Each structure stands twice: as structure tokens, then as C-alpha cells.
Structure 1
């Protein structure tokens, strides 16, 4: 690693703009659990849809949409930046909101 993309920042906007740093390619829900970010969840495996959240900034820093997400979210949801945290891996800084 050259250091420039070794870590990224996740801002949990709904949780008082709590900011945490994470390694590149981190899973959004796992980082929320580890750092007490606050994204709600029940299963963590893409089955329940509870961890639906919106990438308010940095949606371009998320990986491709997974088939499990398509069972819970519509194309319109994706266009607005909604993702399932358990299925989302990060490549750069993001700001995330939920429970809107």
C-alpha cells in the first residue's frame, strides 16, 4: 500500500456525525458494529433488509450492488443512494444516514 488509499473515513450522520476511520474494502455494517456507528441490523447476511441506509455522500466509493440488495431495494432506491450496509464494501470516504 502506498498510504494514500490505505484508510477511509465513514461518517455516521444519523449518529451525531460520528466519524471513524476504516481500512479500504471494509464492510459498512461490520464497521458500524465494531465502531458503534449505530446502523440498525438484525441478520447481517442480506436476508432481512433491516440495515437499509442511504449513502448521503460518497456513493461512488461503494462497490457494486449485490443480488441480495435487489430483493429489498428498487432501482429508484439505488438511484437515491440507498444500500444495504451488510452488503456494501467501501473503497473511499462515505457519509451514511438511516431511518429517514
Structure 2
């Protein structure tokens, strides 16, 4: 059973595989900040300090809200991210959260197939 360690709140949770980070925080009082739960506001942005390899793939909403710059630095959105089969440690920072919340979502490039 994977563990999520919420560094800021000093909470450690045993969770089922494929558990959503934000849902587990809400259910067990991990204290990850949140507001919308849908990848729109950016309030639940966190940094994977350890175990990033045990997080699922980045979702479209994360790519839009965070952009490549924040994703490359190890940031994810708790509402969109699931822990797979290993332990993770996450933290969050109010200043980063405020920057992400103010960021306008990227418009993703759509690939257009040439019809010939």
C-alpha cells in the first residue's frame, strides 16, 4: 500500500494504489490547499519532493494550467494526480500557489491532419 507524506502538515497516509492526491488529503486531513477540484484554479499545486516516479501521467488540465515550465520543475495538481504503487512526499508553497492561480491556461496546439 503506497504512502503519501504531506510535508507541510506532517501527515503520512497509507492509501490504496491509484488514489487521487487531493481526495486522500480531503478525506484524511492532509491539508493540501484546494478550491475547485477540477484543474482550473491551480490552488492544489504541489511539488513531488520524493517518489515522482510513482505518480501517474500528466493530464491535459495540468499541462494547460501549469505549462511545461512548472511541470519540468516537478509541480503537479493534486486534483488531477494519482499515486500509483510507491511512496511519495509532497510539499506546497503559498507563493508558488499564488503564481499558478494567476496563470492563464495555455491553449494546447491541436494537430490538424491533412486531408488529401
Does TM, normalized by the shorter one, top 0.5?
yes
TM range (shorter): 0.7 to 0.9
Q: In structure 2, what is the Cα distance between the partners aligned to 1:61 and 1:47?
A: 23
What do you get for the CA RMSD once the two structures are aligned? 1.0
Distance 1:71 1:18 in 2: 29
Hey, what's the Cα distance between the residues in 2 that align with 1:79 and 1:57?
15
4+ residue segments displaced more than 3 Å = none
Q: Could you tell me which of 16, 21, 26 is aligned with 1:23? A: 16
Task: Please report how far the alpha carbon of residue 74 of structure 1 lies from its aligned counterpart in structure 2 after TM superposition.
Answer: 2.3
**What's 2:89 paired with?**
95
TM-score, normalization by structure 2: 0.76
Of Structure 1 and Structure 2, which has the larger fraction of its residues in strand? 1
The answer to whether 1:42 aligns with 2:35 is yes
Paired residues of 2:5 and 2:88 also in contact (CA < 8 A): yes
Q: What do the CA deviations read for 1:8-66 (whole angstroms, capped 9, x no partner)?
A: 10000011x21110000000000000110010010111111111110111110000000
Q: Which has the higher helix share?
A: 2
Q: TM-score, normalised by structure 1?
A: 0.88
The runs of 5 or more residues in structure 1 that have no matched partner are 1-6
